[in-house]
Amino acid sequence: MRSRLAHAKINLALVVGPHRDDGKHEVVTVLQRVALADRIELGSADALSVCGYEDDTIVTSVLRALAASVGCEPGWQVEIEKAIPIAAGLGGGSSDAAAALVLANELLPDPLPPAKLAALAATIGADVPFFLRAGAQLGRGDGTLLTELPLPRDYHVVLVLPKGVEKASTAEVYAQFDDREGHLGFEERAEMLAAALASAMDAPDLARLPANDLTSSPLAGELLDLGAFRADVTGAGPCVYGLFTAQADAEEARRRLERFGSVWITAPC
């Protein structure tokens, strides 16, 4: 069995625009991998099986797609060891799929090159191609057009998954965005994001990135009050992150916020 870490991500910014011709929304997003990670193990088998997370569909889908693309049977056994909270906006499922895809591709007699692997990943989910790459990325279009970003990483990340908050489906979150005509002003917000990235020399400069267009949380205000230089919801939520320059402040924030839900301290990677 081969193994690979499947890291979580946070959206340091998520600017959403109007519908595209393909029905998806135009987005500009800043994606940052963090150290919190699942572990994926994969080996050859007589038939495809995925264990460790009984509700998996995305790992199964990506491996079936890989097998179909190269004309073989999906003969792999996968073990998923979960650490990333499920349906939180942290991309755990997409990251698991990307890790399994890389491991299975390595076992092929003629592995797919990176460009073809990324194209296949994009058919499974918008975040999956990001997890095939290292470092922070700027995602454009439907989120799968990726450009590497040299962002500062000298900060600590506090993640808060609020208890008692029922995760709305991504489709529902986007429907609410459409109902309030959230796409208005997209170009201006995208320009604001580009300007913030151009001037991001030190970690606190990330505070100038625009807020998440899809959703917000009062926990972001709590994190800012506790010393975070930036706090926002990641993806479609409900997980909220806060960025701290000092580990002691991050530790204090974790202690103070545990009454609101599950809390982790992690770091960009």
pLDDT digits (tens, 9 = 90+) for 170-188: 889 999 999 999 999 999 9
Return d(Cα 247, Cα 156) in angstroms, integer.
6
Return d(Cα 209, Cα 100) in angstroms, integer.
32
Average pLDDT of the chain is 97
Question: Are β-strands 136-140 and 49-51 bridged in parallel, bridged antiparallel, or unpaired?
Answer: unpaired
Q: What's the one-letter identity of residue 158?
A: V
- Per-residue pLDDT tens for 129-168? 999 999 999 999 999 999 999 999 999 999 999 998 877 8
Return d(Cα 112, Cα 66) in angstroms, integer.
9
pLDDT over 80 at 219, yes or no = yes
Q: Which residue has the tokens 């796409």?
A: 183
pLDDT given at position 268: 98
Mean pLDDT of 11-16: 98
Q: Which domains can be identified in the chain, with CATH numbers?
A: 2-149 (3.30.230.10), 156-266 (3.30.70.890)
User: Which tokens hold the place of 81?
Assistant: 């060891």
Mean pLDDT of 231-243: 97
pLDDT given at position 15: 98
For residue 32, give the H/E element and its range.
strand 25-44
pLDDT given at position 168: 83
Q: State the catalytic residues.
A: 9, 127
pLDDT given at position 255: 98
Do 153 and 184 touch, CB atoms closer than 8 A? no
Mean pLDDT of 233-262: 98
